A = this chain, B = another copy of it.
């Protein structure tokens, strides 16, 4: 039995989506026990609509909840020991839950998780990994915004953590890894990225296959399973891609409405549009994973639907079921043990670390 703590108040629609999503997840993954945290007057009426779910889960009333627009420091101040998000995270710390899922405020969730769960001994800084729909299926991109800037070491840590998450989610033995970089040869990227590439090439890490640098367009092509970058460019890439997808959808939708012919065309080709929507839908595998912490915390999109929230719960389940934390801790130790060998070989000059 895997126990999931759910911030029932999180997201743009609160329990209407989170509880509905939890009900879907409960049917698909019967061996989970879900613990819901939230304001009693808000959550209980919704939970009553799902008697099967209510029968096998626990509800814990909380005093308050974390607003979507609170700053992380505010949220921590206002929510500590009080809000549904805080309790959901703390349940993981206290061993009452194996994973926490929230569709709430990302910054607040990050801050509470960091504050409450602390970094695992092997990782220096956290990362957020997102699942990106590609032409080849799905890739994992990280960091998409947990921190800004990254040393070569942190980039390799991200590669190791991303590979562990990919293995847990897709059951691939040795996912391929690419470092996000720019295409101009001479100035081939940041020093940190070059150094991280050198390390990934020289230190043979089990459980991942380093493929070299990739560029922005490789993400959507699915050139590699895991794309590694620091949080600033990762966040910008993610949002630029999401923006482009919405932009194209809007242009097409508007154009389709313009003439009777194109309206007719839309009717005939609805199946094709459904496929597009399904393939590009970030909710299909909805669930950013907070990595590097002593606990599994899943961030669902705030605007997700019930299916998307169920998917985030499934991601949490997979991470626990496939022992993500142990894997990552083991692999990070492996990297940090092997690294000094490289430094010695390179006579301390090639790598400025």
Binding site for B on A (CB under 8 A): 71-73, 106-107, 110-111, 134-135, 145, 147-149, 180, 182-187, 189-190, 215-221, 229, 231-233, 235-248, 250-252, 255-256, 258-259, 261-262, 264-273, 275-276, 279-280
A248 touches B246 (CB 8 A): no
B237 touches A217 (CB 8 A): no
B73 touches A251 (CB 8 A): no
A273 to B273, CA, bound (A): 13
A111 to B275, CA, bound (A): 45
Within the oligomer, what is the number of copies of this chain? 2
* Of the residues B187, B240, B251, B271, contact of A240 by C-beta under 8 Å: B240
In the complex, how many angstroms separate the beta carbon of A155 from the nearest chain B beta carbon? 13
B251 touches A248 (CB 8 A): no
A259 touches B271 (CB 8 A): yes
Residues of B within 8 A of A280 (CB): 247-248, 251
B236 touches A220 (CB 8 A): no
A134 touches B186 (CB 8 A): no
B243 touches A220 (CB 8 A): yes
B71 touches A182 (CB 8 A): no
A168 to B294, CA, bound (A): 54
A247 touches B220 (CB 8 A): yes
Residues of B within 8 A of A185 (CB): 71-72, 107
Residues of B within 8 A of A264 (CB): 265, 268-269
Q: Can you list 20 A-B pairs, Cβ within 8 angstroms, ordered by A?
A: A135-B247, A148-B189, A149-B190, A182-B231, A182-B232, A184-B235, A216-B235, A216-B237, A216-B243, A217-B239, A219-B243, A221-B247, A241-B243, A255-B269, A259-B272, A265-B267, A265-B268, A265-B269, A266-B272, A268-B268
A135 to B216, CA, bound (A): 21
A247 touches B71 (CB 8 A): no
A231 to B148, CA, bound (A): 16
* Of the residues B72, B244, B267, contact of A186 by C-beta under 8 Å: B72
In the complex, how many angstroms separate the beta carbon of A291 from the nearest chain B beta carbon? 16
Residues of B within 8 A of A232 (CB): 182, 189-190, 233
A216 nearest CB neighbor, chain B only: B239
